[in-house]
Amino acid sequence: MVDASLRAIKWYRSLATSRGRREAGAFLVEGDRAIKQIMGICPEGIIEIVAKEDVLPVYSRYKVRHVNEKQFRSISSTKTPQGLIAIVRTPQGIYSDILPENIGKRILLLEDIQDPGNVGTLIRTAAAFDYNGVILSEKCADPLSPKCAQASAGSILSLWLRRNAGYLALADKLDRAGYSIIVASLKAKGSPSLLNEKDMIILGLGNEVSGPSCKLIEMAKHTIKIEISREKAESLNVAACGAICIYLSSRAIQ
């Protein structure tokens, strides 16, 4: 990596792209609250702080790059920049097809969910209810993109992540290891109460429009549907559906 004092502003801007993040081995987290969340989870993961003004003493342990208003806005991905950005190391193994050693009992599987806000919100919700990891298909929004990281509110390093084309192979490996794959689908008949009956689960959620694929449904031990008042709302947003399912599944391990 180039020394922070020598980096061009375009280097920071490049972290808004998938290629830039992979080449740099880093991503952006914006805002004081989200950065402090990262500091609490993985303080050594922060490489550098980019700021418009003097930073609080809590950030004194890190290298700080001061920029002007125009430069900061060119780096920030938000409409109302918060004045503080952290450059964070990419989590180890995120794009690999190898599961971590400590898998845990609760896994979220996201298939082709393309809205970065939905992906970030689901990661944040999973972390809040003690899920251990998230498997994402390659067509999912990149969890390290600025909008995903923003929506996760700094929870992005709270659990392990795996995003690749072999997501179903990972799910199959876990299935053979004793995990129950439970998929939420509008076409399902099963009750979400099934989430309370299994000790080790993979909760599967599909694309915002088309839902889970036939292959994922075929792999599922159970499919479930959240009943709603369809006279008032046709369906739930995938992030809302996921939040309900995550909460219900967490009740089983209290």
Tens-place pLDDT, residues 166-216? 999 999 999 999 999 999 998 888 888 888 888 899 999 999 999 999 999
Tell how strand 180-184 and strand 222-224 pair up: parallel
- Supply the pLDDT for residue 77: 85
- Supply the pLDDT for residue 4: 52
- Supply the pLDDT for residue 97: 92
- Supply the pLDDT for residue 250: 85
What average pLDDT does the chain have?
92
Residue 78 has pLDDT above 90, yes or no: no
Residues 6+ apart with CB under 8 A from 96: 162, 164
Indicate the pLDDT class of residue 5, thresholds 50, 70 and 90: low
- Supply the pLDDT for residue 193: 84
d(Cα 132, Cα 225) in Å, to the nearest integer? 23
Residue 254 has pLDDT above 80, yes or no: no
- Supply the pLDDT for residue 6: 65
Structure-token pair, residue 167: 């997501």
Residue 1 has pLDDT above 50, yes or no: no
Q: Please report, rounded to a whole number, the percentage of residues in the chain having pLDDT higher than 70.
A: 96
Residue 155 has pLDDT above 90, yes or no: yes
Structure-token pair, residue 102: 């400590």
Average pLDDT over residues 56-61: 91
Structure-token pair, residue 228: 């709603």
- Supply the pLDDT for residue 232: 87
End-to-end Cα separation, the chain, in angstroms = 44
Please report the sign of the dihedral spanned by the C-alpha atoms of residue 41, residue 178, residue 210, residue 246.
negative
Q: How many CA atoms lie within 13 A of 193 on its CB side?
A: 2
Q: Please report, rounded to a whole number, the percentage of residues in the chain having pLDDT higher than 90.
A: 80
- Supply the pLDDT for residue 26: 97
Indicate the pLDDT class of residue 163, thresholds 50, 70 and 90: very high
| Residues 70, 142 contacting (CB under 8 angstroms) | no
- The predicted model scores a pTM of 0.91
- Supply the pLDDT for residue 228: 83
pLDDT of 216-248, one tens digit each? 999 999 999 988 888 788 778 999 999 999 999
Residue 2 has pLDDT above 50, yes or no: no
The whole-angstrom distance between residue 70's C-alpha and the CA centroid of its chain comes to 29
Residue 83 has pLDDT above 90, yes or no: no
pLDDT of 118-142, one tens digit each? 999 999 999 999 999 999 999 999 9
Residue 40 has pLDDT above 90, yes or no: yes
- Supply the pLDDT for residue 82: 81
d(Cα 46, Cα 49) in Å, to the nearest integer? 8
